[in-house]
Chains A and B, each alone.
Chain A
Amino acid sequence: MDSTIAASELMNSGAEAVLRALKAQGVDVIFGYPGGAVLPLYDALFKQNEIRHILVRHEQAAVHAAEGYARSTGKVGVVLVTSGPGATNAVTGLVDALMDSIPLVCLSGQVPTHLIGNDAFQEADTTGITRPATKHNYLVKKSEDLVRVMHEAFLVARTGRPGPVLIDLPKDILIAPAPYREPSNAPHRSYRPRTEPDPRRIEEAVAMLKRAERPVIYAGGGVINAGPEASRLLVEFTRLTGFPITNTLMGLGAYPASDPLFVGMLGMHGTYEANLAMHGCDVMLNIGARFDDRVTGRLNAFSPNSKKIHADIDPASINKSVMVDVAIVGDALATLKALIAAWKQDTAQPNRTALTKWWGQIDAWRAKDSLRFTQNRDPGSIIKPQYAIEQLYKATRGRETFITTEVGQHQMWAAQYFRFEKPNRWMTSGGLGTMGYGLPAAMGAQVAHPDALVIDIAGEASILMNIQEMGTLAQYRLPVKIFILNNQYMGMVRQWQELLHGSRYSSSYSEALPDFVKLAESFHAVGLRAEKVDDLDKVIAEMLAVDRPVIADICVDQKENVFPMIPSGAAHNEMLLGPEHKGTSGPAVTNEGMALV
């Protein structure tokens, strides 16, 4: 202890020590909102130029912006909020990042240490409130702990299964001088996540995969979190095996959508071929996904005849809901490296005859074309939401494009019809399902990639949840494009009410909507509207041509539902197909299914 203090340098204030630690961690931008308890930090920020501060309009948006920044760069996103309401407003964002494993460090102000527990002005028990909302959190009560905690927070946020870490900073700690020392490489006392897979498990997995007759690879957000090299290795390994591969919602982009081995997204609104391949496979390799309930459907009917291999960096994600036959704890990058090496070393030949037969079956499922829809092209026709996404995708091909979404039907259509070739280009709130995520996340992605095209595919209801961020776009000249699929309904709520609640549309109509064109203009942005199919391409072209923030209000078919759909409580092979596939009716939803979300 004494030697570290001797090796440290005393900074004039805790605030300066915090900024120096941020710089040492490679931070160049933070998203925040000032207030009384963090004034010393804002003062220190004012006196320097290395760290840029983006002033959001609401603390929830600061966290989503940091998520967009983190997910589009692979770096840790940083948030700065004040005490009390600043911290409580950030909670939704923190839980969002926790559910989707996004590395964040959130600095929150706190009342001075001597006032903690006194119900002081803008006091909240922030560490108490955020304990289940973060991977870990800290309250710094002594100046000598400040810099150690700062460095440790970054380590915890980015290693193992990444996640949000909060540091609560009492105002007196930010004012008093504090010792600074550089981050050390010494291992943490108690936190030592395992990253290297057990070679024996890898051998077992490869032996199982080599014998497979109907294999499937199921890859999730963990591959994206492991960095672009992991996605490259996923492609290498999949091509080596010739196996079909599906991605989760969080994993889109981990495998190029245009590759013939890719069978599309799986799960509740996944493709027919992906879900039936999961249901009918005899060996399943899950890399970096967590058998989420949106993916498995009814658990006791999930992939009933398969041997399952699960590779995950988080041991608590293994055997949580689905029992597996081979558990591999490790980082997706290290696991894929090991799998490739072991596959090449194992002399057994895969059963190509069986594989050819399996692919024949998958191609027959594919031929069903479960994402088929019909767009009437006659002038004046109403726009199908699927068509709007398809046209947007076509118009943006070849450009460096980042897509974010809000939550609901538009999110699922974006996942189904926008095709991702690379990782880190797709940002969506998967686990928590946070409406209002997309606009601030797009802001964060645009800050990180100023010259790229960043589009928030939104719904008219979700976008209003963080619409105040239009002000941030204007202030920092962030040319984010907001592409609203406006069906004047909380569409996913409406869809469930139609399918499960006798079409009683209780509170799901978007009453009293603003005029989005005028709204855009009032926020110094460009407002566009497409009302008919013949307007669509023009509006998209105009939106993409403008180097300013744009809201494109795309008026789409109000009655359209997202298909295919695995209803609540149903199995993968009980999927509902859309109206294009008449005669394929799914099962009735059971009472147990009704209770699920």
Chain B
Amino acid sequence: MSDSTLRSATISVLVENESGVLARVIGLFSGRGYNIDNLTVAPVERDGSKSRITVVTRGTAMVIEQIKAQLDRLVPVYKVLDLSEGPHLARELALIKVLGTGEKRAEALRLADAFRARVIDATTESFTFELTGATDKLDAFLELMRPLGLAEVSRTGVAAIARGVKTIT
């Protein structure tokens, strides 16, 4: 009865920064069977009164519309913005620890340079890289590091914002 193709959506939600608000948002997703592929949250107002939650989710067009409507009716939600409806920027930051010596270690450093990853910590047996970029760029870099001694990853999740003059408020 409706299009069953799945699409990915990056949704930003501006919320009152109050106790339990993240649980409300996450509980909505788990309770209604929606997917969360990626999630970030942090206060964005100077006085700490509002937080911005960015969720990357997947679903049919009908489900994505439902997710937005369900989020919008939560009492502490100010604004819901589907960034994937228009041009937008999405970036993630990862801290990546690679262990190794010899040629593999040198190769890791060369690739890091090609990806513009910064070395933020080094020992004779390890590098810790800091890499910022779109999710697929991070994924690609991690794939390359895997045979070179990838030991640990910490990712922030996606922060996203609309291109141009458009704002969430």
Residue of A nearest to B70 (CB): A316
CB distance from A128 to the nearest CB of B (A): 7
Of all chain A residues, the one with the shortest Cβ separation from B1 is A300
Whether B110 sits at the interface, judged by CB under 8 Å, is no
- Chain B's closest residue to A188 (CB) is B75
Return the CB mask of B67-97 against A: 1 if under 8 Å, else 0: 0011011111110000000000000000000
User: A141 contacts which chain B residues (CB < 8 A)?
Assistant: 19
Which residues of the partner chain B approach A315 to less than 8 Å between Cβ atoms?
Answer: 69, 72-73
Known contacts being A132-B27, A318-B69, is A156 close to B1, with CB within 8 Å? no
* A323-B1 CB under 8 A given contacts A131-B23, A131-B27, A156-B75: yes
As a 0/1 sequence over residues 39 to 74 of chain B, the CB contacts with chain A under 8 angstroms (1 = contact) are: 000000000000000000000001001100110111
Given A127-B20, A128-B23, answer yes or no on A319-B1 (Cβ-Cβ < 8 Å): no
Residue contact A131 to B73, C-beta cutoff 8 Å: no
Residue from A127, A141, A299, A320 having most chain B Cβ neighbours under 10 A: A320
Contact check, B23 vs A190: say whether CB atoms are below 8 A apart.
no
**Cα distance, A405 to B31, chains bound together (Å):** 29
What is the distance, in angstroms, from A525's C-beta to the closest C-beta of chain B?
Answer: 41
Interface positions, chain A 147-168, Cβ under 8 Å from B, are: 156, 160-161
Name the residue on A nearest B20 (C-beta).
A127
B20 to A135, Cβ gap below 8 A? no
Complex formed: what's the CA distance from A269 to B72 in Å?
Answer: 34
**Closest chain A residue, CB of each to CB of B72:** A315
Task: Tell me which residues across on chain A come within 8 A of B69, comparing CB atoms.
Answer: 315-316, 318
Confirm or deny: A139 has a beta carbon within 8 angstroms of a beta carbon on chain B: yes
Compute how far the CA of A432 lies from the CA of B39 in the bound complex, rounded to whole angstroms: 32
**Complex: chain A residue closest to B3, CB-CB:** A323
Q: Name the A residues within 8 Å of B66 (CB-CB).
A: 316, 319-320
Q: Are A139 and B19 in touch, CB under 8 angstroms?
A: yes
A319 in contact with B65 given A156-B75, A160-B73, A190-B16 (CB within 8 Å): yes
Of B1, B20, B73, the residue contacting A299 (CB under 8 A) is B1
Whether A131 lies near B76 (C-beta < 8 A) is: no
Contact B70 A190 (CB under 8 A): no
Q: How many whole Å from A334's CB to the nearest CB in chain B?
A: 18
Question: Which has the most chain B C-beta neighbours within 10 Å: A127, A135, A190, A193?
Answer: A190
Q: Is A456 an interface residue (CB 8 A)?
A: no
Q: Quick check: is B24 within 8 A (CB to CB) of the other chain?
A: yes
Most chain-B Cβ atoms within 10 A of its Cβ — which of A128, A132, A139, A141? A132
Q: What separation, in Å, do the CA atoms of A317 and B31 have in the docked complex?
A: 16
Q: Does B124 contact A (CB under 8 A)?
A: no
Partner of B24, one of A131, A189, A323: A131
Q: Is there contact, CB below 8 Å, between A136 and B75?
A: yes
Choice from A190, A193, A299 contacting B76 with Cβ under 8 Å? A190
Chain B residues with CB under 8 A of A160: 73
Which of B23, B66, B75 has the most chain A CB atoms closer than 10 A to its own CB?
Answer: B75
Tell me the complex Cα distance, A177–B23, Å.
31
Whether B2 sits at the interface, judged by CB under 8 Å, is: yes
Q: What B residues does A319 contact at CB under 8 A?
A: 62, 65-66
Q: Which single residue of chain B is at the shortest CB-CB distance from A320?
A: B66
Q: A318 — which chain B residues lie within 8 A by C-beta?
A: 69
Complex-state Cα separation, A318 to B73, whole angstroms: 13
B77 near A190: Cβ-Cβ < 8 Å: yes
A314 close to chain B: CB less than 8 A: yes
Kindly state the separation between the CA atoms of A490 and B75 in the bound complex, as whole angstroms: 39
Q: Nearest chain A CB to B20's CB is how many angstroms away?
A: 6
A191 contacts B by Cβ under 8 Å? yes
Chain B residues lying within 8 Å of A190, measured Cβ to Cβ, are 15-16, 75-78
Could you say which residues of chain A place their CB within 8 Å of the CB of B2?
A: 323
Residues in A with CB closer than 8 Å to B74 are: 136
Bound-state Cα–Cα, A314 to B1, Å: 22
For A128, A188, A189, A300, the residue with the greatest tally of chain B CB atoms inside 10 Å of its CB is A189
A128 to B19 Cα, complex, angstroms: 11
A116-131 CB contact bits vs B (8 Å, 1 = yes)?
A: 0000000000011001
Nearest-Cβ distance from residue B57 to partner chain A, whole angstroms: 15
Indicate whether A132 sits within 8 Å of B75 (C-beta atoms), given known contacts A315-B69, A316-B70.
no
Report chain B residues within 8 Å CB of A323: 1-2, 62
Q: How far is the CA of A318 from the CA of B66 in the complex (A)?
A: 8
- A316: chain B residues within 8 A (beta carbon): 66, 69-70, 72-73
In the complex, the answer to whether B62 meets A314 with C-beta atoms within 8 Å is no
Cα distance, A320 to B68, chains bound together (Å): 11
| Cα-based distance from A126 to B85 in the complex (angstroms) | 38
CB distance from B41 to the nearest CB of A (A): 16
Are A314 and B24 in touch, CB under 8 angstroms? no
Question: Chain A 161-191 against B: per-residue CB contact (8 Å), 1 yes, 0 no?
Answer: 1000000000000000000000000001111
Chain A residues with Cβ under 8 A from B75's Cβ? 135-136, 156, 188, 190-191
Residues of B within 8 A of A127 (CB): 20
Nearest residue, chain B, Cβ from A136: B75
* Minimum distance in angstroms from B70 CB to a CB of chain A: 5
Decide: B73 and A314 in contact? CB cutoff 8 A: yes
Q: Which residues of A contact B65 (CB under 8 A)?
A: 319
Complex formed: what's the CA distance from A136 to B24 in Å?
9
CB distance from B72 to the nearest CB of A (A): 7
Q: Which of A320-343 contact B (CB under 8 A)?
A: 320, 323
Q: What residues of chain A lie closer than 8 Å to B76, measured between beta carbons? A: 190-191
- For the complex, what is the distance from the CA of A170 to the CA of B77, rounded to whole Å? 26
Q: Report the bound CA distance from A131 to B30 in whole Å.
A: 13
List residues of chain B with CB within 8 A of the CB of A189.
Answer: 16, 78
How far is B77's CA from A458's CA once the two chains are assembled, in angstroms?
A: 41
Given pairs A139-B19, A316-B69, 4 additional interface contacts (CB within 8 A)? A135-B75, A136-B74, A139-B20, A315-B69
Residues in A lying within 8 Å of B, measured CB to CB: 127-128, 131-132, 135-136, 139, 141, 156, 160-161, 188-191, 193, 299-300, 314-316, 318-320, 323
- Chain A to chain B contacts (Cβ below 8 Å), 5 pairs: A128-B23, A136-B74, A188-B75, A190-B78, A319-B65
Q: Lowest 9 A-B CB distances belong to which pairs?
A: A316-B69, A136-B75, A190-B78, A191-B75, A315-B69, A316-B70, A132-B31, A300-B1, A190-B16
